[in-house]
Amino acid sequence: MALKPIITPSDAVLRKKAHKVTSFDKKFQKLVDDMIETMLDAPGVGLAAPQVAVSQRLIVVQLQDDEESRAEYGDDAGVLYVLANPEIVKASDELVEGVEACLSIPGYFGKVERHEKVTIKALDRDGKPTRVKASGWLARVFQHEIDHLDGKLYIDIASDIWKARPQPVDGDVEIDSDSDDEDEDGDIVSAEEVNAAMNSQTSQD
C-alpha cells in the first residue's frame, strides 16, 4: 500500500466527471487499498478517487471508531465502505444544514444543506451489487464524496465558507480553548476566493 497525494482545485481532474469503474482487477484493488490508507492518514472520513487524481467513480468512507464517534453515530462508527459507481437512488425530502470540510480544500469550512437520509446503490470492491442506507452525518459524507465523482465541490453549494484560523506553528501563539471545535468565527470568504487561494498555493510549491 502507498499514500497518494491529495490534489486541490488547481488540478483539473478534481473538476472532471469521473469514469465508471469497469474492472475490479489487481490494479483496482491496489487503488482501493491506497485510498483507504490515504484517507486514514490525512485523516479524513471519506475520499473520492478524483481527489487522488484518478478519474474513476470510486469512494471510500469510514467514520471514526473512537468512543465519542460511537456515542454520536452508533453502529455507523468505524464501518468501512468501498463503493464503486455509487448512485443515490432515494433521498429524503428533509434537508439538514451542517458544516463540511474537504481534504482537497485544506483550511476552509462551509455550511452545506444535504438530504438527511439517502439510499445508495453501488458495487462493492469485488464488483458485487450492494445497497447502503445512511442518515445524518454518514449520509452527508456519502453525498459529499459522490459529488466529487461529478467534479462538484462543497464550496459550489455552501451558503457560507470561512477560513479556519491558522494553526500556530510554535508555542508563542495562545490557542483558544475552543479551537478544537469547528471554527465558525473565521473570516467568511467566497468560493472564488477559495479557488484563487488554492491555485496560488500550488503555484508557489
158 part of the interface to Zn ion, by CB under 5 A: no
Question: Nearest distance from residue 43's CB to Zn ion, in Å?
Answer: 13
Compute the least distance from the CB of residue 6 to Zn ion, in Å: 9
DSSP string, the chain: ----PPP-TTSGGGGSPPBPP---SHHHHHHHHHHHHHHHHTT-SEEEGGGGT--BSEEEEE---SHHHHHHHGGGTT-EEEEEEEEEEEE-S-EEEEEE--TTSTTEEEEEEEESEEEEEEE-TTS-EEEEEEEHHHHHHHHHHHHHTTT--GGGT-SEEEEPPPPPSSTTSPPPTTTTS--TTS-EE-HHHHHHHHHHHHHH-
C-beta nearest to Zn ion: residue: 102
Which range, of 3-11, 96-104, 123-131, 133-141, touches Zn ion by CB under 5 A? 96-104
Interaction between residue 31 and Zn ion (CB under 5 A): no
What string marks each residue from 102 to 121 as x (binds Zn ion by CB under 5 A) or -?
x-------------------
Nearer to Zn ion, 73 or 109 (CB): 109
Of the candidate spans 59-67, 100-108, 133-141, 182-190, the one that interacts with Zn ion by CB under 5 A turns out to be 100-108
Catalytic residue among 67, 113, 145, 193: 145
CB of 184 to Zn ion, least distance (A): 19
Choose between 132 and 149: whose C-beta lies nearer to Zn ion.
Answer: 149
Supply the minimum distance, in Å, between the C-beta of residue 156 and Zn ion: 11
Is residue 82 a contact point for Zn ion (CB under 5 A)?
A: no
Whether 100 is catalytic is no
Backbone dihedral angles phi then psi of residue 195, each to the nearest 5 degrees: -60, -45
Q: Residue 192, Cβ neighbours under 10 Å: how many? A: 9
Determine if 63 is a binding residue for Zn ion (CB under 5 A). Answer: no
Residues marked active site are found at 145
Binding site for Zn ion (CB under 5 A): 102
